[in-house]
Structure 1
Amino acid sequence: MKKIIIPIGMLITQSVFAQLTSTENYIQSKTYLEAVTTTSTTARQIETVQYFDGLGRPKQIVNVKASPLGRDVATKIEYDGFGRQTIDYLPVPQSGTQNGAIIPDPLANAANTPYGSEKIYSEKILESSPLSRIQQQIQVGNDWAAKPVKFQYEVNTIGEVKKFVATTSWLNGEIQSQLNPATDPDSENGNYKAGQLYKNVVTDEDENKTIEFKNGRGQTILVRKVLSATENADTYYVYNEYDQLAFVIPPLASVSGFPDLSTLDKLCYQYHYDGRNRLVEKKLPGKGWEYMVYDKTDRLILTQDANLKLQNKWIITKYDQLGRVAYTGFLTTGGGRVGRQNEINNLVIAEERSTTGFTRNGMTVYYTDTYFVGEVQTILSVNYYDTYPQGSPAANNQFSEALLTDNMAQPRNTKGLPLASYVKNIEDDNWTKTFTWYDTRGRAIETHSINHLGGYTRTESKLHFAGVAQNTVTRHLRRVGEPEVTVKERFNYDSQNRLLKHYHQVDYWPEQLLVENSYNELSQLKNKVVGGNLQSIDYAYNIRGWMTDINPAQMSLPDLGGKLFTYKIKYNQKNGTTNPDQAQFPGKNVKPMYNGNIVEVDWRAVESLGANPPLEPKRYSYAYDGLNRLTAGYYQNPSNPWSKEHTEVMDYDLNGNITKLYRTSAMNGTTAMVIDELVYNYGPPTSLGNRLLDVKDNRNNKAGYEGGGNTIAYDPNGNMTDMLDKQITSIGYNFLNLPRTLNIGYDPVTTQIKTNYRTDGVKLRKENTTNSSGVAGVSWTKEITDYLDGFQYLNKTSSGGAVEMLSRETRFALEQQAFSVADRIVIPPVDGDGGIVKNPHNPELQFFPTAEGFYDYQKKMYIYQYKDHLGNVRVSFGKNSSGAFEITDANDYYPFGMNHLKTGNAFFGVGSYKNHKYNGKELQETGMYDYGARMYMADLGRWSVVDPLAETSRRWSPYTYAYNNSVRFIDPDGMQNKDWVERGSQIFYDASVKSQADATAAYGENAKHLGEGSTVTSVTNGQADGEFQYTLHNNGTVTDAGGNVIDNTQDIEVRDKTIFSNCSDCLNPGTLNKNLFGLTYPGGDNPKTYGGDWSYQYSPLLQSEYPAIGHDKRYDNLGTEGAMGLFTDTRAIGADYKFVAQELKIALNPFNGAISTDKKAAGMLGVGLGIAAAPKTIFKLATDGNAFYNIYQDYKTSNKGVSNTPKK
């Protein structure tokens, strides 16, 4: 509904500001950052003035005193002779402030800003036709002026596109499709005849082509990525007669002709639907079939994957009466999908809150148990809304804030808010309970989490008037009887709520100035000082907003000017080798890139105090293929750039599976040697799959990948169940496909690693037990690591002796040549009675994270970290309790993440913060990195299990890492590699978008790709209004101007855009009460799904809300939104007046049963939006000779597949 709320709010709000000018049309808005009772010019505030021309079009936006120096920031908006906005200017900081007055020449000061002499506008070259389609899109920056993204609009030719047909049959209560070659009259030799498909060609800045073919219904038939002049990567989409997507045929399956049944099962996506168009069965490549069961309201109730089917289990989700998830569990009585569906076809599975509840797994659940009585023996999670459950703790309320209560008699209460969440351990019946308290503005200010050991983590926040945190206090206790840890933080902001200082205090130790930030006039982070004055870190960016340097001025200084790390990222400039050996690596040449791929990185680092690094920087140069896959990372030794040390070179199949990997290293000071020459086997040519079956190392070198060529086994869900090359003899998984047990080695020395998780996938504990048998008997060591809300504990026990943190067999699985052991621990022996002589320091709290690294609790030492653009930890440092400066860890990485061998100062130790390395993830004893949802094998460059979000990237193998472009992308949690897209007023991330060409192919010509480091400067979300710069990262996170990762459970609302949140629980009905007139339909912005798509699943309560669904969907189809869409986008005229007509029909019809308040709301919405859309309509009619025809055509485009039905 926000698409409607924003403009109508403008119409019905009276101005209370002093008049700026009598000669200009404008809208002035102020958002106060501190409480005021009257209009104020001195209070901290966000002030924006938008000026309009005589046709009601925006022509200039002035952000008053918005720069760090308190100067205005102005954005010029201009149009061509046809009223089209073909040039988009970057906002320009001014030399002073005009207090909101229009600026005669807003571009005049550009040369005096960080832009310098750069070209500060992007261009669209439009075709000379009424369609105004984009032919070229030219980005900002001088270097991009001759590197446009090009668009072509064609139709298919003979033999260009294969035609597949899905024939359907009704079987077992579902529509099943069978794939067949086309033989109909509209095909020719199994291909589409010429002219039957629309063909759109997008050529990116580096001449990489993406070709999309669509049929007349707008369905994508084929997406073709051009790899070379002779090879394409084709992904086909096949629909059945009901227009349901039945098959997706990825490139490796489509290249060999018509896929047989084996190819379908191993490589393709297959979907079955029921008679109500609901997806009921699906099969992903490498996995068994998955099943889904729905209730009468189309809500997903039961799910089952291949492993659960073998166990005769279903996961059940029960909802409350408002459609919110009440609790989940295991339905253990089995049954087939058809039978289960028939049971609940006519039922609405909704449970109610109960004062008595029922008990399962040691927990009382305060809901009814009306459906599947006696069949749900295991409860996995419980959620409480509106009122706190019995036994809830009281709020501590240290900051004496007024809190919302669950007393429904009070005008302000917790109705609609999530209040408590209980999550069970997978391996036992212990629970984690989390409670949330809110202030009277509905903002979460206190959480209390009771962990499975009986301890707690309580966090309280004191929020500023605008919602930013001024102070936070976190109190943590592992279990009763142990000392509590207290962490206090406070924050200072500038006049626009940019973070300036972040203070941090642990227990009663002195407070530490963790970081102090400063910004350039574009609000980009320019410098941060960490640890007081421990290190001052400078940052630089190019015109695209991409980070280019860390400490650039120190790169040429022998001692780095006292700094520890300097780093340079090059995109379209190349200084190093093109190819160290053309004969060995033909065609894998390094060249300047303009589409966001990184060409080179240079760095110098101090790895040990007193030892200056070589004056010439270390360097990696990168080569790519036509699919933007990294084909080579050539390392250049400062003293011998042709030595090919630490080089990785890769080959791929069409799905992105690595087929060959060549890796070199310089070990023990020797010259470069080949340590890996790997050949990956995915099956015989006639039966290829994505599962890696074995790896042959032609070098037989134990360094790097261990080799051995042993067969790799998998379970039905596609999880790797052993890796004998690493002596990992078995891996067992829980129902979340996370490793539960892992066994390494053979007698006489074996290691078992047990990992316990909560049912939401959070890791709680890891037990590493090594047994060694010999003539003296059996000895053992056990290391238990507890993970509790970021606080990490380590408990070590042993049968006696001096024990290194890594056993011999675990070291074999790790990569022992890359790391030094962090510590050597002497563990007391077992006493004569068989009991353990406990070390008084165990169990120990080892460390916990801070915004700039970690806090080493044992050494009472703040650990700060230099990280590169991917979040890879390069240098860790700090000042110990005696005041001495220390470098604690230093790392260099191969392109796919394996540590360089023998860098000298890279450490590994169980339970140590030093294990957080590549992408900032924790390195395991197995040599794999734990990303949360999956384990990553850096030595092989792939995952060990199928991507849980594989369907978002169907053209890729579900085992590939970061689209095989690991120097540009990371996978933040093991589920998705993300990059950002701007479409109209929407900013969101999409796993399949890696370039402008991808963005255009996926979202149309008006979509804009926003890569790593792209920035958005504007007003932040409803929780924290303030002038901010936000930096978008391709790991799916957003950081504020201080470099802090912001709360990803809230959208960021900016002046004319919304950056969509990235959390799966954003479908939160608790936000429904924020809508206009108290309407319950949330509309296009709230709630939303993971990844920024809008959800229309909520059923409105009032008739006047239904037209909003269709209106928002039509805006979706046009890629427009909000005030800009309503006031200026003439394509939306038809959509607007369709909404007006539907609302007025409700308001004026005396027989429709609508209540009076509903009719009034419909009337206000209809009339208000009609008035708002009138100026652009008048302009369209006056300037377009074919206005009525074009309005109708635009309406047809917007109306495709649209209804007011509350389901997307």
Structure 2
Amino acid sequence: MKYTLYSIFVFVCLSSFFPSLLKGQDKNRHYVRTRLMTKDDGSSFRETITYYNSFGLNDEIREIGASPQGNDLQTFVGYDGAFRKVSESLPRPVGNTNFYNDSNPESYTVYEHSELNRVRESYGPGQTWRENGKSVKYTYLYNTKTGDDHCYCLSAKDVGEDIKVEVKSYDANEVSILRTTDEDGNVTDQFTDHEGKLILTRQKANGIPHDTYIVYDDHGRKRVVLPPLAADALGGHSTFMCSQVEAVQLYGYLYYYDERDRCIKKKLPGCEPIYYVYDRCNYLVLKQDGNDREAGRWQSFQYDRLGRQVIWGFMTRNKTHADWIRICKNLDLRIYFIGASYGSENYGYTSVPRISYLCTPLIINYYDDYEYTTIFNEFIGFLNRPGYYSSFSASSLTSRDKLTGQVVALLNDPFKRDYIAYYYDQRGCEVQSTMNSAFGFRNYTFTNYDFIGQPVSVRKEHTSIYRDTPPASVDDVDHILTYEYEYDHAGRLSKLYQTYDNDAKVLVAKYEYDEVGRLEKKLLHNETATSTYKYNVRGWPTEINEPRMSQKIYYNENLPQGVTPLYNGNIPCLSNTADNNLTSHFTYDGLNRLVSTKQYRPDGRFIETPEKFTYDKMGNVLTIERSYYDPYPDYLNEMTIQYHGNQIKKVTDESRGHDYYVLRYQDAANKDIEYFYDSNGNLVKNLDNKIGFIKYNIINLPEAVAFNDGNLLTYSYMADGRKVRDSYGSFPIRTSTPLDSIVNNTDPYITEHNDWSEDYYYSGRLYRIATPEGFIRFVNRVGYSIFYSMKDHVGSFRGYWEPGHANGPITFSYPSYHPSGIIYRKPYTDVPFALGGKEFMGTNNLDEYFFGARTMYAIMNRFNQMDPLCEDYYSVSPYAYCNNNPVNAIDPDGRDYRLTIDKENNRMIVTAMYYASTQDFGSAQQAVDFWNKQSGNYIYKTKEGDYTLDFSLSVIEVPTDESMNVAQRSSVVTEAFRADKSGIANIYEVVSSFKDSNKNGVTVNGNHIGVKYSRQDENTGAHEVGHTLGLTHSSFGLMTSSSTDPYRSLDLNTVGLKDMITYPIRGKSNSEGRGVAGEGHLSVFNFSYSIGSSYYSVSKWGKIRRR
């Protein structure tokens, strides 16, 4: 769907032409003035002026009146004599040159003394970095025949159903090496061949190389990826078959393609293969992983004529992969909506070919209008509420191209469903949603927006299933939560109000910012309590002061005695009053993995709970040692872990003692094999923790956990991954009854359960409602209290406090953590949140976190299921948490673009939207501006005529404040992204670092961009935006894999631009960029065509030419 951005006017002015009409500009300089109107009468706007020097280079950006005090914010850009960007300052208020109290508040780039203009060093802001020479350094080398810079020459080809890899060695100087050394001396080498393909990434820890090879075939397709422990097996082979080398099967990634270069089979480490089936239009229509195969099912995907996914579900048909390929290869399986008038055999969609109606749907999507409400009586129509949008008409065009309704099945019972309707105003903003849930809860949300689309009022209504009498009508609700938002002149959230039912309005928080927009103070609960925040010159948090908690974070300044400063973003030391004023010290290896921690009491003499970790080359933890000195060491954990591939085989813990509230490893068994996994790599049995069997659903989330002692836990999820119920019970222990039969029929054993319905949590009665700054807790059916949460720098729950007491807030529930973030004492069950703010599931000593997409074993901080995004981090174990750096990183929970052809005006418009937090908005806008500036520069030439290529990309700012840690901001942005129904939405985030420290930016699933904080330059962001537009890496220009190519921001590869156009025309996704490149969808304006012929309305054989 195209997104229309209202009232943005750009005035390009030469001050020498209109000096008398312009105010606030330097009349002696060229500039571009941009105004974002914030009121419909044009009386209020946000203004930015970009100045250019005599050579047309941008040398200053001024945000007019953007600071909280109304001062202009200036950013300066410096160039050398060769017109290369060498410096860029941080924003600062006009007239305050020492705002950051630092003599070097700008980034700085040093180039080689050569004609190649290659970057030699890159400094981020900060005098401490500059005076200590702590830059990111780049060295350009070539391979050697032997020695440290040796590189194998690998090639792959098909031999029957297997892949054959030939192993040779490159001669000297055949392969280019980019050596990147970070601020703390950690080295990463990237080896690229003469075509620019990345073939090897080498990192070192303690001098030991960790190699990850990518193997291509003759067509340039990625066929095999060999992570470090698989790459170690190369030395003993000249040629090998992948199926015959155990290390490749356990650690490697294998890809198989059909004659149209579509990936039809994929094998992940330690898992059974995943099969893919496409129709003739190149849409993925069937998928089957290892667990699907055992269950005799295929996952089914159905699309409408515009390429939008309308049905996802499963079918049980006894056909092989080859059978389905043969059946589907010549079929166009797209369907279209026909409504109830022709029957509802396929839920209002056509079922031709007949393969369509064989599917049991799990998610059904409806677009454009509301005719689907005639098929299901369970949908709730538009509701009128005073003060909220009331001009809805089902026949209006406000919902065109938007998701208007969804049917989402309960995975445990697909015939129980959520029925969700979405309603929009004339600007396309979602003003209302209604949900009739599978268990009978009802939730309605009403939203008012200001002129530029920021929410100013949100009303949430809820109807419970635990009420005494059934609701008399859809308007009969039990609870109402209303939020009101106020913003300052620059769009920063300034006040948040909350009203529960008919009680008094509460000022939840008043937000105050420093002059560059960083949150420095929150006044909570009617301004009765205060939180403050401090930062260093790079914006990294250095101090967090909550009403009952204070945390100090050290990097390289003002360090306690004995702490080694770090400059690459790792935290060497922090202190927290929630940890009894203990100070924690951290040590990392060359791969930025946490290897040891220590804690000191305030007197600096007494050591508590030191930790030590060792790893294999994949980042699997080999040993964990934790002890408590009081005054002699008491080992809480002394664990040795054995693996089969990346999967745990056996754990031995030599520690002794047990306290229910202190987390210790159970170690209940002593078998050769104590951990068991299924075909998808999910943990299904843990003998040490007395878990007899775990059953998983179709999205690899645990559905039932049966313990050997007769206890049983079950979980219910909706098909979109929401957990809506957990239950507890017990079953009679009979040796003749297999546990897997019990978890397949749990109902007779359940004795109690808890329910989630959006923000509402029930435990037999309404128990808790989640709020933006904490929660509301109920002590009985009537009384309630408001609580506020305390969290540290990574979002870990540190307790909660209740306002309104004479002697100040009362604090409750201090979870205890080891320095590594691994929980020490379990949280109280009434507020079960801990690491990263995730739910801690401690019933029956399960001791796991629920992360939404996976569960994690708390004692090890290790996931029990494969990382769904493991292909973005080949060198790291799919089970590792944050690349074993939980002190500095968090684990976030992963649409594309649209090509519109305007035949009447001979234009092609590429449209996409990018959701970004307030903090990341500037970086995202800069990246998007690069592409929008390309509009009109290129032509798509065909026999029937030429088309001008235009870009219409936009950034949607999601209001966030500096009090939010990275996890909280990511959660808010992700929520806004998921709520978007346009089909062209993406996420843009700036992060401190990646698991692969050499990466400056990544794009996940074709729609989720991450850009490293230190590389927020125009070309890095624009490069990642290019991936969302369907582009893969090229050998030169913007899309080269080398972020140091000085021409990356200047050149676009016309071959890549052609792919951006022709893939949507052909209805094909870029299989080479699967998991990275976005998928385009085609829309045709001003052209009449019959259904089925739209692919060929414009030639797919055109060529791109620059004007």
8 A contact 2:420–2:435 mirrored in 1: yes
**Which of structures 1 and 2 has the bigger CA Rg?**
1
Cα 1:166–1:1139 shift into 2, 3 Å = closer
Letter in 1 for 2:121: Q
Shift of 1:366: 1.2
Shift of 1:397: 3.9
Shift of 1:626: 0.5
> Which residue of 314, 329, 341 maps to 2:325?
341
Counterpart in 1 of 2:202?
224
Cα 1:701–1:787 shift into 2, 3 Å = same
8 A contact 2:265–2:273 mirrored in 1: yes
Quote the Cα distance in structure 2 between the aligned partners of 1:883 and 1:784. Answer: 38
Quote the Cα distance in structure 2 between the aligned partners of 1:546 and 1:285. Answer: 36
Counterpart in 1 of 2:352?
370
8 A contact 1:972–1:1036 mirrored in 2: no
Which structure shows the higher strand fraction?
Answer: 2
> Which residue of 120, 145, 148 maps to 1:158?
145
Counterpart in 2 of 1:754?
714
Counterpart in 2 of 1:271?
255
Counterpart in 1 of 2:530?
536
Cα 1:518–1:1034 shift into 2, 3 Å = closer
Counterpart in 2 of 1:789?
758
Quote the Cα distance in structure 1 between the aligned partners of 2:2 and 2:1054. Answer: 14
In structure 2, the residue corresponding to 1:342 is in which secondary structure? helix
Shift of 1:61: 1.6
Counterpart in 1 of 2:412?
427
Counterpart in 1 of 2:653?
697
Cα 1:1022–1:954 shift into 2, 3 Å = closer
> Which residue of 594, 619, 633 maps to 2:567?
594
Cα 1:1110–1:201 shift into 2, 3 Å = closer
In structure 2, the residue corresponding to 1:252 is in which secondary structure? helix
Shift of 1:752: 0.4
> Which residue of 123, 126, 131 maps to 2:116?
131
In structure 2, the residue corresponding to 1:254 is in which secondary structure? helix
1:664-710 CA-to-partner distances (Å, cap 9, x unmatched) read: 236xx776411211000014xxxxx1110010012244461112444
Shift of 1:881: 9.7
Alignment of 1:898-977 (within 5 A): 898-901=822-825, 907-909=827-829, 912=830, 914-924=831-841, 925=843, 926-973=846-893
8 A contact 1:740–1:755 mirrored in 2: yes
> Which residue of 774, 777, 785 maps to 1:856?
777
Letter in 2 for 1:445: V
1:1125-1148 CA-to-partner distances (Å, cap 9, x unmatched) read: 9xx9896367699999x99xxxxx
Cα 1:781–1:200 shift into 2, 3 Å = closer
Alignment of 1:980-999 (within 5 A): none
Query: Structure 1 stretch 530-539 or stretch 135-144: which is displaced more?
Result: 530-539
Letter in 1 for 2:445: T
8 A contact 2:12–2:31 mirrored in 1: no
Alignment of 1:553-564 (within 5 A): 563-564=547-548
8 A contact 2:434–2:444 mirrored in 1: yes
8 A contact 2:143–2:174 mirrored in 1: yes
Shift of 1:767: 0.8
8 A contact 1:437–1:444 mirrored in 2: yes
Shift of 1:380: 1.1
Computed over aligned residues only, the root mean square deviation of the Cα atoms, in angstroms, reads 4.2
1:730-762 CA-to-partner distances (Å, cap 9, x unmatched) read: 11111111111101242xxx2101111112221
Shift of 1:1038: 4.2
Quote the Cα distance in structure 2 between the aligned partners of 1:308 and 1:681. Answer: 29
8 A contact 1:333–1:375 mirrored in 2: no
Alignment of 1:140-155 (within 5 A): 140-145=125-130, 146-155=133-142
1:490 and 2:473 correspond: no
Structure 1 residues without counterparts, runs of 5 or longer: 96-108, 183-190, 553-562, 579-589, 608-612, 684-688, 796-843, 976-984, 990-1019, 1068-1083, 1098-1108, 1144-1154, 1159-1201
8 A contact 2:798–2:815 mirrored in 1: yes
Shift of 1:321: 0.5
8 A contact 1:424–1:758 mirrored in 2: yes
> Which residue of 390, 404, 407 maps to 2:373?
390
Alignment of 1:118-517 (within 5 A): 118-145=103-130, 146-159=133-146, 160-169=149-158, 171=160, 176-182=162-168, 191-229=169-207, 231-256=208-233, 257-258=235-236, 261-356=245-340, 365-373=347-355, 376-388=358-370, 389-391=372-374, 392-398=379-385, 399-401=387-389, 403=391, 405-407=393-395, 412-428=397-413, 429-479=415-465, 481=470, 484-517=478-511
8 A contact 1:357–1:365 mirrored in 2: no
Quote the Cα distance in structure 2 between the aligned partners of 1:1044 and 1:355. Answer: 32
Shift of 1:117: 3.0
8 A contact 2:229–2:247 mirrored in 1: no
Counterpart in 2 of 1:997?
none
Counterpart in 1 of 2:1091?
none
In structure 2, the residue corresponding to 1:26 is in which secondary structure? strand
Cα 1:273–1:594 shift into 2, 3 Å = same
Cα 1:167–1:91 shift into 2, 3 Å = closer
> Which residue of 789, 811, 836 maps to 1:887?
811
8 A contact 1:47–1:63 mirrored in 2: yes
Shift of 1:418: 1.0
Shift of 1:515: 0.8
In structure 2, the residue corresponding to 1:430 is in which secondary structure? strand
1:345-380 CA-to-partner distances (Å, cap 9, x unmatched) read: 1111111102228989xx971111113447624111
Counterpart in 1 of 2:1039?
1117
Cα 1:512–1:60 shift into 2, 3 Å = same
Cα 1:296–1:13 shift into 2, 3 Å = farther
Cα 1:1110–1:602 shift into 2, 3 Å = closer
Shift of 1:81: 1.0
Counterpart in 1 of 2:919?
none
8 A contact 2:1034–2:1040 mirrored in 1: no
Shift of 1:241: 1.6
Counterpart in 1 of 2:725?
765
Letter in 1 for 2:403: P
8 A contact 1:897–1:938 mirrored in 2: no
Figure out how many residues of one structure are paired with residues of the other and give that number.
Answer: 933
8 A contact 2:398–2:425 mirrored in 1: no
What is the TM-score normalised by the length of structure 1?
0.71
Shift of 1:543: 0.5
Cα 1:657–1:317 shift into 2, 3 Å = same
In structure 2, the residue corresponding to 1:721 is in which secondary structure? strand
In structure 1, the residue corresponding to 2:219 is in which secondary structure? coil
Quote the Cα distance in structure 2 between the aligned partners of 1:1063 and 1:1119. Answer: 15
Cα 1:1031–1:1116 shift into 2, 3 Å = farther
> Which residue of 536, 542, 559 maps to 1:548?
542
Shift of 1:1039: 8.2
Quote the Cα distance in structure 2 between the aligned partners of 1:1053 and 1:764. Answer: 29
Letter in 1 for 2:220: D
Counterpart in 2 of 1:186?
none
Shift of 1:651: 0.2
8 A contact 2:693–2:706 mirrored in 1: yes
Counterpart in 1 of 2:46?
46
Quote the Cα distance in structure 2 between the aligned partners of 1:496 and 1:693. Answer: 55
Shift of 1:316: 0.6
Quote the Cα distance in structure 2 between the aligned partners of 1:1022 and 1:224. Answer: 36
Counterpart in 2 of 1:1193?
none
8 A contact 1:1021–1:1051 mirrored in 2: no
8 A contact 1:122–1:137 mirrored in 2: yes
